[in-house]
Amino acid sequence: MRIVVLAGGIGGARFLRGLKAAAPDADITVIGNTGDDIHLFGLKVCPDLDTVMYTLGGGINEEQGWGRTDETFRVKEELAAYGVGPEWFGLGDRDFATHIVRTQMLAAGFPLSAVTEALCARWQPGVRLLPMSDDRIETHVAIEEDGEQRAVHFQEYWVRLRASVDARAVVPVGAEQAKPAPGVLEALGDADVILFPPSNPVVSVGTILAVPGIREAIADAGVPVIGLSPIVGDAPVRGMADKVLAAVGVESTAAAVARHYGSGLLDGWLVDSVDAGAVAEVEAAGIRCQAVPLMMTDLDATAAMAREALALAEEVRA
Amino acid sequence: MRIVVLAGGIGGARFLRGLKAAAPDADITVIGNTGDDIHLFGLKVCPDLDTVMYTLGGGINEEQGWGRTDETFRVKEELAAYGVGPEWFGLGDRDFATHIVRTQMLAAGFPLSAVTEALCARWQPGVRLLPMSDDRIETHVAIEEDGEQRAVHFQEYWVRLRASVDARAVVPVGAEQAKPAPGVLEALGDADVILFPPSNPVVSVGTILAVPGIREAIADAGVPVIGLSPIVGDAPVRGMADKVLAAVGVESTAAAVARHYGSGLLDGWLVDSVDAGAVAEVEAAGIRCQAVPLMMTDLDATAAMAREALALAEEVRA
């Protein structure tokens, strides 16, 4: 079975671990969000791709969900001693090596997709990890801070500001001119199932869908497209998805997110058991819906979620 | 008193520490060798400039004479885990930060001289440190390895091969097209004394002299030019200077090095007490010479050497 997953960072990576356990023989391709990529200290940092790679490759800091295990921050401390920041972005020493290798390969002319493949040769994530695009796309967030309107990089909004101010708009800068990375459209065309993990529907899955051709390829694939709600009981399971949902005029409810994706894209939607009341509303929008436990508390619970998603896909297919 | 010093790495940096102690009120400009600069992992590394900066700024690893004190090697270990080398070059985590800042500033368009000034703003070395040139110059060494003739970067010859094979030639690639960095010729023109510390006469001081205009500016400065022999008792005090001296056809003796510089450049030359027998030979070549202790065993001994050099300068001037 060929499964394609559109993944953001922590939520997507943890779901993928469950999916691998639920479908050990499946051929899994991950289309990773690169809209939160950022250039720091002259280095190209791809937080979502790395979170997937480290999580599936056994190198992740399990507690925080991002960054490397057993990490130190010597380089960052020294950069700060030179007065060079930003200090709000936690780049560890082991993590720096990844960005140094990536930057060096990009400078040598390799596209991000080839660089990602090379990095994965070490990590062996057990999935094929593709960036959504080899072109530079940066999600910017329009905010009002100290009475001034300005646009900040998504990382600045998310990490420095901790989404503490309202987002007026979320714009994947560069997406319109971008092309899907090699292999992305082919993987979607060859897929048996396409999954949206409980990732952020705006800045993770939404950014991937903003790359021209990807949304259409999913809609035209003719295979079940199943999503899992990142909203449980009207609040994001983790992160601050409500803030960016508001920016695109979507309520923070499991049903509203399903309607946001829409029946043109989504065939099935899993909501958490506490949101069982939303099932009828989602089904009324033309999307098959079931209520099941959606908390990724451990690998078993996550694998069970993945099995539910695959079962819903078979139901939709039949 | 305005003193200009042509410095390589460890020997030059340690001598400078003694000079600062010997002449605390002097205005010292250091023209640093950049011929051993190397691009590693996409980063611009300037070993000699950094050794001077770290040594005078209190950040040096005192035992090894290069690199940072209290250093760790997490980034390097991770790079090796990606299969990315070279492994023979010991870049530590704290050191990496310096190269990241430098590379970022160079990429932003600042010349190396401005970058060096910015780095020194943190380290406060107490001297004005100028790279010999803002242009790229790389010392290459022609060797025969496994029956094949090839040219290697000086760092590869020095660090990887530990000068274990004969050097056929030493070439400062790019020097002919290079210009002295801003301030270099002005400092030489304004100097009261010019000093050659006991640095490598071929790959340190020799490379600086290979930048068109610098040798002439020293010869034309009309002020005492005093050198200290890096060869004591027919062997280099440290390093493997004999290997590269052989490549340029110079014997590893204190007198031969003085003659190599020549009376057109050098007014005075200090040899170690054990080489007192060489004084007559050096003076016969038209260079004032004295035998004094030249082992930089501690700061006092090094300061005494610097005082002897300044005293010889006054003798020459008179």
How far does A123 lie from chain B, in Å, by closest CA? 9
Give the span between the Cα atoms of B97 and B93, in whole angstroms. Answer: 7
Mean pLDDT across A33-46? 96
Contact at CB, A101 and B107, closer than 8 angstroms: no
* Chain B contact set for A42 (CB, 8 A): 100, 103-104, 107
How far does A146 lie from chain B, in Å, by closest CA? 30
Contact at CB, B84 and A94, closer than 8 angstroms: no
Is the CB of residue B141 less than 8 Å from the CB of residue B157? Answer: yes
Instruction: Give residue A277's pLDDT.
Output: 96
* Chain B contact set for A122 (CB, 8 A): 81-83
How far does B20 lie from chain A, in Å, by closest CA? 24
Cα–Cα separations (whole angstroms), residue A199 to A5, A14, A19, A193, A195: 11, 10, 14, 17, 11
Give the span between the Cα atoms of A11 and A230, in whole angstroms. Answer: 8
Residue A93 has its nearest CB partner, among B83, B93, B122, at B93
Give the span between the Cα atoms of A83 and B124, in whole angstroms. Answer: 14
Least confident stretch, B112-126, B140-154, B231-245: B231-245
Instruction: Using CA coordinates, name the residue in chain B closest to A107.
Output: B42
Q: Which residue has the tokens 């590869």?
A: B156
Contact at CB, B78 and A94, closer than 8 angstroms: yes
Pairing of strands B231-232, B225-228: unpaired
Mean pLDDT across B94-109? 97
Is the CB of residue B198 less than 8 Å from the CB of residue B296? Answer: yes
Contact at CB, A122 and B82, closer than 8 angstroms: yes
User: To probe the interface with B, which of A70, A76, A93 has the most B CB atoms within 10 Å?
Assistant: A93
Instruction: Give residue A136's pLDDT.
Output: 96
| Residue of higher predicted confidence among B78 and A235 | B78
Q: Inform me whether the C-beta atom of residue A123 falls under 8 Å from chain B C-beta atoms.
A: no
Q: Inform me whether the C-beta atom of residue A42 falls under 8 Å from chain B C-beta atoms.
A: yes
- Per-residue pLDDT tens for A185-215? 999 999 999 999 999 999 999 999 999 999 9
Instruction: Using CA coordinates, name the residue in chain B closest to A120.
Output: B82
Instruction: Using CA coordinates, name the residue in chain A closest to B106.
Output: A42
Mean pLDDT rounded to a whole number for chain A:
96
How many other CB atoms are found less than 10 A from the CB of residue B62?
A: 9
Instruction: Give residue A112's pLDDT.
Output: 98
Mean pLDDT across A124-131? 98
The helix (H) or strand (E) run that includes residue B318 is none
Q: Inform me whether the C-beta atom of residue A70 falls under 8 Å from chain B C-beta atoms.
A: no
SS3 of A275, please?
helix
How far does B211 lie from chain A, in Å, by closest CA? 29
SS3 of B68, please?
strand
Instruction: Using CA coordinates, name the residue in chain B closest to A122.
Output: B82
SS3 of B29, please?
strand
* Chain B contact set for A74 (CB, 8 A): 72, 74, 93-94, 97
Contact at CB, A94 and B74, closer than 8 angstroms: yes
* Phi (first) and psi of residue B22, to 5 degrees: -75, -30
- At B202, list the tokens: 């071929």
Structure ipTM: 0.90
Close Cβ partners of B151 (under 8 Å, ≥ 6 residues apart) = B140, B141, B142, B143, B171
For residue A315, the number of C-alpha atoms closer than 13 Å in the C-beta half-sphere is 15
Query: Any idea which fold A2-133+177-317 has?
Result: Rossmann fold (3.40.50)
* Chain B contact set for A75 (CB, 8 A): 75, 93-94, 96-97, 100
Q: Inform me whether the C-beta atom of residue B142 falls under 8 Å from chain A C-beta atoms.
A: no
Instruction: Using CA coordinates, name the residue in chain B closest to A121.
Output: B82
Q: Is the dihedral of CA B125, B127, B128, B134 positive or negative?
A: negative
Contact at CB, B78 and A72, closer than 8 angstroms: no
Residue ranges of the binding site of B: 50
Q: Can you list the pairs that B153-158 forms with residues at least 24 positions away whose Cβ atoms lie under 8 Å?
A: B153/B38, B154/B35, B154/B36, B154/B203, B155/B36, B155/B38, B155/B47, B155/B89, B156/B86, B156/B88, B158/B36, B158/B203, B158/B240
Give the span between the Cα atoms of B65 and A134, in whole angstroms. Answer: 44
Q: Is A239's pLDDT higher than 80?
A: no
Mean pLDDT across B83-111? 95
Mean pLDDT across B284-307? 97
* Phi (first) and psi of residue A32, to 5 degrees: -95, 140
Contact at CB, B98 and A82, closer than 8 angstroms: yes
Instruction: Give residue A118's pLDDT.
Output: 98
Instruction: Give residue A242's pLDDT.
Output: 87
Instruction: Give residue B236's pLDDT.
Output: 84
* Chain A contact set for B89 (CB, 8 A): none
Instruction: Give residue A146's pLDDT.
Output: 84
- Per-residue pLDDT tens for A289-302? 999 999 999 999 99
Tell me the residue type at A193: V
Q: Is B99's pLDDT higher than 90?
A: yes
* Chain B contact set for A96 (CB, 8 A): 75, 78, 96
Instruction: Give residue B242's pLDDT.
Output: 87
**Cis amide bond preceding A293, omega within 30:** no
Q: Inform me whether the C-beta atom of residue A93 falls under 8 Å from chain B C-beta atoms.
A: yes
**Cis amide bond preceding A86, omega within 30:** yes
In angstroms and rounded to an integer, the radius of gyration of the C-alpha atoms of chain B is 19
Q: Inform me whether the C-beta atom of residue B97 falls under 8 Å from chain A C-beta atoms.
A: yes
Query: What b/e readout covers B166-201, taking b as 16+ CB neighbours within 10 angstroms?
Result: ebeebbbebbeebebbebbbebbeebbbbbbbbbbb
Q: Inform me whether the C-beta atom of residue A53 falls under 8 Å from chain B C-beta atoms.
A: no
With cut-offs at 50, 70 and 90, classify the pLDDT of residue A240.
confident
Give the span between the Cα atoms of A129 and A52, in whole angstroms. Answer: 8
The DSSP secondary-structure symbol of B181 reads P
Q: Inform me whether the C-beta atom of residue B79 falls under 8 Å from chain A C-beta atoms.
A: yes
Q: Inform me whether the C-beta atom of residue B109 falls under 8 Å from chain A C-beta atoms.
A: no
Q: Which of A116, A120, A130, A138 is nearest to A32 (CA)?
A: A130
The helix (H) or strand (E) run that includes residue B95 is helix B93-107
Tell me the residue type at A133: S
Mean pLDDT across A170-176? 95
Q: Which of B215, B241, B218, B168 is nearest to B8 (CA)?
A: B241
- Per-residue pLDDT tens for B25-35? 999 999 999 99
